[in-house]
Amino acid sequence: MATRSRIKTLKINGRDVSAHEDETILDVAMEHGVFIPTLCQIEGLTISGACRLCLVEVAGWRRLVPACATHVEEGMEINTDTERLRNYRRMIIELLFSEGNHVCAVCVSNGNCELQALAQRLGMDHVRFTNLQPVRLVDMTHDRFVLDRNRCILCLRCVRVCDEIEGAHTWDVKGRGSEARVVSDLATPWGDSATCTSCGKCVNVCPVGALVKKGRAIGEMVKRQDFLPYLSNMREVKK
């Protein structure tokens, strides 16, 4: 019979809480209704730590730590909402907007975009950085879906869901830094992919308007993510 992990006691924003030692700070915060922003993490997929929006302060620790990838420890004193963190998170959102082409008024995900929702929640009403205005390849070769790399934030949800849930391993990342791009089958056009099953899981987990269904008008792209925890649990049961 499987043994349960030991219980740890800690504080989040001055509030005493308890958690299992195998839980992350983000897990515990969500259980107790404490908001920590994230764009790369989603229930049912492995931890990526790509967006860095979930960084929190831990008393006595020199650096900010990602809540999604840091497991709880006995006696931790965690702050999730300080002026330092608010400024940092807003800067990240602004950099994401300036690095890509995120014009909400003409996006099919307008009103259903996690980046847009976080910008509003964090009080971002303008961008202080110069827009890089990238011109990236839009892949419309698939019969049902579109990949617009100009809106991609490299959260890697699509890569992980295709690998961990669907098992097709279609998506990967090519290049480094500002040249990093999501590609299918070693940079093969998506419509020519020999591995894609056209399941649409990557489209549904994409937090922005980078992966969408064809034929959607502005504001019409609604995504379903409720399937992920169920499928993830079923895979664990079969192991």
Report which DSSP code applies to 5.
P
Structure confidence by residue, pLDDT tens digits, 189-222: 999 999 999 999 999 999 999 999 999 888 888 8
Which residues of the chain does CATH 3.30.70.20 include?
86-223
Q: Which residue has 């860095």 as its token pair?
A: 52
**What letter represents residue 60's amino acid?**
G
Asked if 158 and 205 count as a contact pair (C-beta separation under 8 A), the reply is yes
Structure confidence by residue, pLDDT tens digits, 22-45: 999 999 999 999 999 999 999 889
Asked if 49 and 69 count as a contact pair (C-beta separation under 8 A), the reply is yes
Q: Was domain 86-223 assigned CATH 3.30.70.20? A: yes
Q: CB-based contacts of 177: which residues, under 8 Å, 6+ apart?
A: none
Q: Which CATH class is domain 7-81?
A: alpha beta
pLDDT of 238 strictly over 60: no
pLDDT of 50 strictly over 80: yes
Residue 149, both tokens: 């790399």
Structure confidence by residue, pLDDT tens digits, 169-186: 999 999 998 889 999 999
Query: How far is residue 151's CA from residue 118's CA, in Å, rounded to a whole number?
Result: 15
Of all residues in the chain, the percent with pLDDT exceeding 70 is 93
Query: How far is residue 214's CA from residue 216's CA, in Å, rounded to a whole number?
Result: 6
Closest among 136, 133, 140, 114 to 37, alpha carbons compared: 114
**What's residue 43's pLDDT?**
87
Between 85 and 224, the more confident residue is: 85
119 CA to centre of own chain: 14
- Would you say the pTM of this structure is higher than 0.95? no
Task: Give me the count of residues in the chain.
Answer: 239
Which residues of the chain does CATH 3.10.20.740 include?
7-81
Report which DSSP code applies to 215.
T
